[in-house]
Structure 1
Amino acid sequence: MASDTFGIFLNGSYGVGKSSVLDHLGDHFARAGLPFSLFDVDWFHRSWPSAGEDPDNVLTEAKNLRAVWQNYLETGPRTPIVAGVIESLEDARRYEEVFGRPLRLVHLVASPEVAEQRLRSRYDADRADTLVWHLANHRQLAAKLAQADWHTLTLDTDDLTPAQVAAAVFTTFPSRAE
């Protein structure tokens, strides 16, 4: 599966398990002795205030991802494995430009009830505002992503553990560089 010709992007709405699957997918690569680098996109754009010309921090995020990716590449070829949200083909192209390769877009989905349960377990009372925001927005984002026809693979995470989802992703892609 090791490939320096493509990357894997775990896409989906809030509460579908992207970050948890990311960690387990890294474990699969490590056990197989395959070089990889993990990226949870949230950590590359979380800053405030944003630049006036970049209100959603997408340009800042791309610069940050590119810089870290270049550092990883100095140690040799590897597969970038990314968790985040791609809402449009423009978003996908921006990430492909950052990593310099096509991405296998994996759409993780969960029922609204399961996603809401996961979100409620993620945010405690001290982060009530963040929970309210995610609860208010996850269904709309899930519906938008469900309309996209550019995902390579779609997996329902309702009845699977993050490790099971990661195993399904790991075995879906080629076992050697293309």
Structure 2
Amino acid sequence: MDQQAEVLLIGGRAGVGKTTVGWEVSARLRAAMVAHCVIEGDFMGQAHPAPEGDPGRRKIAERNLTALWSNYAELGYRRLIYTHTVSVLAEHEGMFQRAMGANVRIVRVVLTASDATVRERLTARELGSELEHELASSARKARILEERTPPDTVCVATDGRAVVDIAREVVDTADWLPRAAG
């Protein structure tokens, strides 16, 4: 009997630590021998110029997610960690249902950070010509997330916190670790 597919969506503005937290969540799950896979959503639509008729690159991102998930599912995986800025928004739910099955269990987590923390992190990360663009985009996405994040989304603050502590909270939200006997 097939287990239900599950996806842990880790969203948040640029600079909150989505990728870092996603990898730490994966480390915690690996340590507990919980089968899962990880997809960095930013890479699913990286095609330039955008494919004709797909200016937001959503169609190509969905096609790539569907192909990757098909490969993982064929090998027996049922849990996916997916990191991407706005993946938690309700308008993206259909993409995961089409790629992973209509009954996929979706767990949404939005990581948050102050403007000062985001500026510090992005300044350290963006060593090329994209810093000002990333800062503006991050602020715009923060507003979108504040306005449109579904009510079942868990918000996790990252300011001044260790990645292992943030990941522990995110893993607890997903409820993917085996429960202790007793």
Q: TM-score, normalised by structure 1?
A: 0.89
Question: Judging changes above 3 Å, is the alpha-carbon distance between structure 1 residues 76 and 17 closer, same or farther for their aligned structure 2 residues?
Answer: same
Structure 2 unaligned residues grouped into runs of 5+: none
Aligned to 1:108: 111
Tell me if the contact between 1:105 and 1:153 (Cα under 8 Å) persists in the aligned partners.
yes
Question: Judging changes above 3 Å, is the alpha-carbon distance between structure 1 residues 71 and 15 closer, same or farther for their aligned structure 2 residues?
Answer: same
Matches within 5 A, 1:3-82: 4-82=4-82
Counterpart residue identity of residue 45, structure 2: H
Distance 1:150 1:40 in 2: 24
Question: Judging changes above 3 Å, is the alpha-carbon distance between structure 1 residues 26 and 149 closer, same or farther for their aligned structure 2 residues?
Answer: same
Aligned to 1:84: 84
Q: Secondary structure at the match of 1:60?
A: helix
Matches within 5 A, 1:120-139: 120-124=123-127, 127-128=128-129, 130-139=130-139
Q: Secondary structure at the match of 1:113?
A: helix
84-93 or 36-45: bigger deviation: 84-93
Q: Secondary structure at the match of 1:49?
A: coil
Structure 1 unaligned residues grouped into runs of 5+: none
Give the CA deviation at 1:84.
Answer: 0.1
Distance 1:116 1:92 in 2: 30
133-142 or 28-37: bigger deviation: 133-142
Tell me if the contact between 2:45 and 2:58 (Cα under 8 Å) persists in the aligned partners.
yes
Q: Secondary structure at the match of 1:51?
A: coil
Aligned to 2:100: 99
Identity of aligned residues (%): 24
2:143 is aligned with 1:143? yes
- RMSD in angstroms over aligned alpha carbons? 1.9
Q: Which of residues 107, 117, 120 is equivalent to 1:117?
A: 120
Q: Secondary structure at the match of 2:156?
A: strand
Aligned residues: 172
Distance 2:126 2:5 in 1: 37
Question: Judging changes above 3 Å, is the alpha-carbon distance between structure 1 residues 112 and 13 closer, same or farther for their aligned structure 2 residues?
Answer: same
90-99 or 131-140: bigger deviation: 90-99
Q: TM-score, normalised by structure 2?
A: 0.87
